[in-house]
Structure 1
Amino acid sequence: MNTPLIAPKMLGFWVRCIRDAQHLSQEALAASAYVDIRTVQRFEAGKTVNITSRRALAKALGYDNTDVFDDPKFAEEVLKFFDGLKAIQQKSLDDQHPDRVRVEAQSLASGTEALRFADAVNAMSFDIDGGLSDVAKEVAAGFCDYVQELMDLDDFPMSGRLAIAKELDDLLQDLREKGAQAYIATRDRKFRGRDWGDKPSWDVTIGFLVIVPTDRQLKELYIPRKSRFA
């Protein structure tokens, strides 16, 4: 069984939270631990701090075990705390979007991936972030239009697919140079017409293409819970 470990930045954030809860400034903690204030700043920023300073800071924060920051049980408790906090934050976000569901988002890294995406879906939804520059929005709109047009293409030679993938690669590179990144997600749905009777449902894969600034990293997308087709 692997020993739970805390990422340095997470540990630094934890230390900052404990310090704040005790109404200690960085200067006060440094003085209590007999270390330089830059040591406190480095530790809270997730930087490397020697073992002597780590022990001094643990003692100054009130821990009886001066090696607590390297204790697997401590690490497990801290990770559980952050998992619980994340769950609370996620529920709050879900409650803000009662008419939407979360789906896993994937960063679109290549033209080949974009082509496969177009092949796999029956319908698409596009969204271009309003915070992008006008130039980036123009490239994003062109990229979205291109991907949508690919849905209507029948089988074509491999040489044609390679050429299209290269063009999509170039567009994605242009987007990145202009500070934008594309993300995709899919959702499988079943649709029925009111007058279909005994006819089987229509199995549909809906694709979602979102283009946002590169400083926004998306792991999930909130998409409409219900979809309609004209």
Structure 2
Amino acid sequence: MNPTLIEPKMLGFWARCIRDAQHLSQEAVAANASVDIRTVQRFEAGKTVNLTSRRALAKALGYDNPDVFDEPKFAEEVLKFFDGLQAIQQKSLDDQHPDRVRVKAQALDSGAEAMRFAGAVSAMSFDIYDGLPEAAKEVAAGFCDYVQELMDLDDFPLSGRLGIAKELDDLLRDLREKGAHAYFATRDRKFRGPDWGDKPSWDVTIGFLVIVPTDRQLNELYIPRKSRFA
């Protein structure tokens, strides 16, 4: 990451935090910077403002250097602050889920990707967000059932694979039209039976498929720390 560049929305959020910490209203900052209040609102919302306004806002927020927003050291300190804040928030979430572990989640965007997911896992877990509309839940349930059935299929001709991929594409498109989106994650585990003796562990890949509203973006999933199979 270029340490001299701060994403505009992050810079705008930082400016709002500095303003709130000084108990200043947007009107007060606008007056101190000799700009209109819409300029302050745009800046805090991560929108583009001209260089003259940026320099004036920096001074109005208490910085001696009007070009501070473009200084590498300033960018480094702000990014370090947000990294620390994210770490604190993440620890708080981890503490709320002591019996679960975090795994990386990925958006499921195509039927072919869904087929690869089904073919790579030994077992699956499904979760459909309870707040989805009923129509979306019905499509989500059908999609999850379809993906699970693919686990039991043996190898089949290319023409059959293309047909299945298209059907899954249609289901994913229907999900999006109804306000939902699919995410998946996997976790590799080793299992041993109590009486296995010298037998090697059973290596399995567990798949997790979740359906959530389209306005909710997932980067990670909290999944059970321990998994059991009948």
**TM-score, reference length from structure 2:** 0.98
The 5-angstrom pairing of residues 1-230 of structure 1 reads 2-230=2-230
**In 1: Cα distance, 2:173 partner to 2:61 partner:** 48
Runs of 4+ in structure 1 deviating by more than 6 angstroms, as ranges, are none
Contact 2:121/2:205 (<8 A) preserved: yes
Deviation, structure 1 residue 2: 4.0
CA distance in 2, matches of 1:97, 1:16: 32
Q: Counterparts of 2:138 and 2:83 in 1: how far apart (Å)? A: 40
Instruction: State the SS of the aligned residue for 1:16.
Output: helix
User: What is the rounded CA distance, in whole Å, between the counterparts of 1:191 and 1:140 in structure 2?
Assistant: 30
Note the alpha carbon deviations across 1:69-101, whole angstroms, 9 max, x for none. 111111111011001100100010011000000
Letter of the aligned partner of 2:161 in structure 1? R
Distance 1:168 1:218 in 2: 21
Q: For 1:50 and 1:61, how far apart are their aligned partners in 2?
A: 17
Q: Aligned-pair distance for 1:33?
A: 1.2
Deviation of 1:194 after TM superposition, in Å, equals: 0.8
The answer to whether the 8 Å contact 2:33/2:56 transfers is yes
SS across alignment from 2:175: helix
C-alpha separation between the residues in 2 aligned to 1:61 and 1:141?
52
The CA RMSD over aligned residues, in Å, is 1.0
Aligned residues: percent identity? 87
* 1:40-93: CA deviation from partner (whole Å, max 9, x where unpaired): 111111111111111111111111111101111111110110011001000100
> Per-residue displacement from partner, 1:140-165 (whole Å, max 9, x unpaired)?
00001110111001111111111111
Task: Give the secondary structure class of the aligned counterpart of 1:47.
Answer: coil
Gaps of 5+ in 1: none
Aligned residues: 230
Letter in 2 for 1:204: V
